[in-house]
């Protein structure tokens, strides 16, 4: 498989037959840095399951975990709106799905880190660049929040964080 890149995607497939008389259903999940899509079993409000196609933004994933489906172990993805998709019969184990998700998440954080550094160090926060910003305070708040998150996730070390934060604060002082 090799190293993942932001433009890559990974697809996992399988097949599952529910019950003795059920028909075999194609099960799949495709993960990229932008979207998560595929076909799996969605839990309904009445506690039953239906086979469903799904497509979500990558950022909507809440958790990838192991679960039980039809009294058998399987993978499950939980999305922000409490939508749970089950993947019985998938050809990979839950840790492989989690690892793929985490690799894409790390790539996105690295890209965001580079974007923030380029924004701050590249001159957007200078007297000349100031006039180009539509809503300065909103951009400022988002930039500070991203800096904090990148430091928390370990993509910016404490020294880099302090330098970038100081440069940002100097502009608004």
- Give the span between the Cα atoms of 143 and 117, in whole angstroms: 10
Distances (CA, A) of 131 to 87, 119, 128, 134, 141: 51, 14, 6, 8, 17
pLDDT digits (tens, 9 = 90+) for 76-117: 999 987 889 999 989 888 899 998 998 888 888 888 888 777
Task: Please give the pLDDT value at position 28.
Answer: 95
Instruction: Look at the chain and count its residues.
Output: 173
- Give the span between the Cα atoms of 32 and 29, in whole angstroms: 10
- Angle at 141 (CA atoms; ends 140, 146), nearest 5 degrees: 100
| pLDDT exceeds 90 at position 153 | no
- Give the span between the Cα atoms of 162 and 156, in whole angstroms: 10
* pLDDT tier, 129 (very low <50, low <70, confident <90, very high otherwise): low
| pLDDT exceeds 60 at position 133 | no
3-class DSSP state for residue 86? strand
* pLDDT tier, 156 (very low <50, low <70, confident <90, very high otherwise): confident
* pLDDT tier, 154 (very low <50, low <70, confident <90, very high otherwise): confident
3-class DSSP state for residue 153? helix
């Amino acid at each position: 498989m090799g190293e993942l890149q932001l433009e890559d995607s990974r697809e996992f497939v399988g097949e599952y037959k529910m019950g003795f008389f059920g028909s075999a259903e194609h099960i799949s999940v495709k993960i990229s840095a932008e979207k998560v899509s595929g076909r799996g079993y969605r839990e309904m409000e009445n506690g039953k399951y239906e086979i469903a196609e799904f497509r979500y933004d990558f950022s909507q994933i809440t958790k990838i975990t192991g679960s039980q489906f039809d009294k058998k172990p399987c993978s499950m993805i939980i999305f922000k709106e409490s939508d749970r998709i089950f993947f019985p019969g998938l050809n990979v184990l839950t840790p492989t799905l989690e690892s793929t998700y985490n690799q894409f998440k790390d790539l996105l954080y690295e890209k965001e880190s580079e974007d923030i550094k380029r924004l701050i160090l590249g001159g957007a926060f200078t007297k000349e660049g100031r006039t180009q910003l539509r809503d300065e305070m909103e951009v400022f708040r988002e930039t500070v929040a991203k800096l904090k998150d990148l430091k928390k996730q370990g993509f910016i070390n404490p020294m880099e964080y302090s330098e970038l934060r100081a440069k940002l604060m100097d502009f608004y002082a």
